[in-house]
Structure 1
Amino acid sequence: MPLFDGQQWIWEKFYPQGISWKAPLNKKPLFHVMDQAAKTFADREICDFLGRSWTFGEMGAMVDRVAAGVRKIREGKSAQR
């Protein structure tokens, strides 16, 4: 089965009505997109994996914790120099 039939990509037929593959994208840093999604869709599910699900808000909080940990590690390395 070809990925492109001359008019659309195979996955486009699974897009919700009104969503276009050719829609313009806003160029923003990934952290900005994640922060905005965590605020806008805080109670909506973002991931369901092996019976465990997370909301955008929960995922945003996890990302923030990881970022804080990375900053702390980097600060420690800077102090050692």
Structure 2
Amino acid sequence: MEIFGTLLPLILMFAIFYFLLIRPQQKKQKAIREMHNSLQRGDKIVTIGGLHGTIDSVDEDVMVILVNDNRKLTFDRAAVREVVNPD
């Protein structure tokens, strides 16, 4: 019975750690993964470097972004921070 009393605080600490830190991070990563998978031509985006542009084409890992004066830049798909399409 002493072992149970000793392990209970450790188990509670792990449960609190999981629900406050690990689980929210997993949800955030899943949302980012879904956003990257749903990118399509014409989406207005912001990259992790702060570049604003419109997607011209999307491949499996690479996309071409149209920026000022129809200049085309190539980025990794993972470089997208957010989609800013007006709804």
Q: What's the TM-score bracket when you normalise by the shorter of the two chains?
A: 0.3 to 0.5
Q: Which structure has greater strand proportion?
A: 2
Q: Which has the higher contact order (CA 8 A, sep 6+)?
A: 2
TM-score w.r.t. length of structure 2: 0.31
Which protein shows a greater Rg?
A: 2
